[in-house]
Amino acid sequence: MDSSFTHPALSEGRVAVVTGGASGLGLAAARRLAGLGLKVCIADLGAERLAAAREAIGGDVLAVETDVSRRSALERLRNMVEHRFGGVDVLMNNAGIQPGSSIFSDPEGWQKVLDVNLFGIIHGSQIFGPGMVASGRDALIINTGSKQGITTPPGDPAYNVSKAGVKVFTEALEHELRTTPDCRVRAHLFIPGFVFTPLAAPGRTEKPAGAWTAEQTVDFMLERVDAGDFYILCPDN
């Protein structure tokens, strides 16, 4: 079992929750954390996808069908995790969608992107965070952003707005945690580069030459989390 990380939250027996955990970066993170000996809960949509992911991860894994756009679903997720494993030490708010958008596209589409990508992270942090702080243990909240939330290229404004919001929220979250007396929880903004996942490369079967695998990206993320970096800006090729 890998014991190369020094952060206590990344040690055997701790508890991790990964939203968007049935595929891509979420699944890669869940597998890596389980390999470190953590008890893992994955949350995503689709019972069959979750069952396949749970089998791929192996070990003591809880899989919960969860629509992160609904606050009540995240409250249910927290209750199920606490009942099964106890308190949470690593929260990775990773669920996201990118259906495409334009400035004048349908408001329902915009709302869905913001509800999943931004409010899924806000609500997840608000629902799990207080218990993590109250536990008094070293713990981590990792929020998945995007370079598009920083560079805001034209072409998909709803996604850009949602990920820019994740950046600003996570910065505010870390400030709150750092200024809370005796708080041992830290927030990190995870900014992947060009990663070969179903979200980033739908329909492609061969990895583009410049892309990283999800596993490479997660390894880099955990190394930088362990080093204490707030901004985890992943390079690519």
Q: Which residues pair with 170 in a beta bridge?
A: none
CA 66/CA 219 separation, integer angstroms: 26
With beta carbons less than 8 A apart as the criterion, state whether 71 and 123 touch: yes
pLDDT band at 213 (very low <50, low <70, confident <90, very high): very high
Instruction: Let me know if 231 is a catalytic residue.
Output: no
Q: pLDDT of 162-208, one tens digit each? A: 999 999 999 999 999 999 999 999 999 999 999 987 655 555 567 67
* Mean pLDDT, the chain, whole residue set: 95
Q: Is the predicted pLDDT of residue 36 greater than 80, yes or no?
A: yes
CATH architecture of 8-233: 3-Layer(aba) Sandwich (3.40)
Question: Which residue in the list 110, 128, 159, 220 is annotated as catalytic?
Answer: 159
| CA distances in angstroms from 111 to 92, 103, 150, 204, 210, listed in the order given | 22, 13, 20, 28, 32
Sequence-distant (≥ 6) Cβ neighbours of residue 58 within 8 angstroms: 34
Q: pLDDT of 216-232, one tens digit each? A: 999 999 999 999 999 99
CA 43/CA 91 separation, integer angstroms: 11
Q: Which of 133, 146, 143 shows the shortest CA–CA distance to 182? A: 133
Q: pLDDT of 51-95, one tens digit each? A: 999 999 998 899 999 999 999 999 999 999 999 999 999 999 999
Q: Is the predicted pLDDT of residue 1 greater than 70, yes or no?
A: no
pTM for the structure as a whole: 0.94
